[in-house]
Amino acid sequence: MNRLMLALLTAAPLIAQDARSIVDEAQKRSRADSQRYEGTLEVIDSKRKISTKRWVYERLGAAGESKAVLRFTAPAEVKGVALLIFNHPDRASDQWMWTPAVQRERRIAFQDRRTRFFGTDFTFEDLEERDVDRSGYKLVGEENYAGALCWKIESTPKAEARSQYSRLYLWIRKDNYVLTQAECYGKDRLVRRIRYSDIEKVQNIWTPRMLEVHDVERDSTTVMKLEKLQYNLPLPAENFTLQSLRREQ
């Protein structure tokens, strides 16, 4: 899985030679030099209690060579909490989190990458992007999902990815290469299921405007809706530094 926000251009169907070429084409069609959106998150716990959070996400760069900042804007108890991510093509991302309450940032340690990010069902690892070459791929078959014929692909992270997942299954639509579902496994156990829906064309990029992340063990779900989404807009490089992370907005 290259990233939770994989979004894809529509075009004439490509004759893919193998599973890797399908995933590579999906990544190419989703490429944008920058991205910004406002996200609304509803976290639904096992008792069906709902809490709502909001954040703003900005990314500069593409694929595995990018920098991203996300910053909570609501509710008050998490406002200003921010995460800075440096994605790399050949290794796991570097991440730092800023917490206004203690007025300092901390680097996210490797052992913390599989923990939940501030009460959501995303882990820190789920928030990074990955280049296509950091995993191996196998075409499992074809399945109908959400009314569309999809390739089902098994993705196995390479050792240098240092992933919490032993393998993932990806459902990629054959007509437009949109990722519609991902199942994430730890060893032989399903850990997390991610569903992508409300797919719309935004600046010629087919984009899932809703993500539903289900944590199987906790039986909790986070539903994220993307608002005010823009691609290829000018974003200052100085916004993606530790200095900018400390700024409360």
Supply the mean pLDDT for the chain.
89
Q: Would you say residue 21 has pLDDT above 90?
A: yes
Percent of the chain with pLDDT over 70: 92
Phi, psi of 79 (to 5 degrees): -60, 130
Contact between 24 and 30 (Cβ < 8 Å): no
pLDDT digits (tens, 9 = 90+) for 59-110: 999 877 899 999 999 999 999 999 999 999 888 899 999 998 888 889 999 8
d(CA 28, CA 7): 10
Contact between 96 and 69 (Cβ < 8 Å): no
Cα 48–Cα 112–Cα 35 angle in degrees, nearest 5: 75
Reported as half-sphere exposure (CB side, CA atoms, 13 A), residue 1 has a value of 28
pLDDT digits (tens, 9 = 90+) for 170-202: 999 999 999 999 999 998 899 999 999 999 999
d(CA 213, CA 194): 5
Helix or strand holding residue 171 (H, E): strand 167-173
Q: Where are the domains of the chain?
A: 19-245
pLDDT digits (tens, 9 = 90+) for 96-124: 999 988 888 899 998 899 999 988 999 99
d(CA 141, CA 236): 43
Q: In sequence order, what DSSP letters do the residues of 38-53 get, joined into one string?
A: EEEEEEE-TT--EEEE
Q: Return the CATH architecture of domain 19-245.
A: Clam (2.50)
Between residues 147 and 131, the one the model is more confident about: 147
Contact between 248 and 147 (Cβ < 8 Å): no
Residues 6 or more apart whose Cβ sits within 8 Å of residue 80? 71, 72, 98, 100, 248, 249
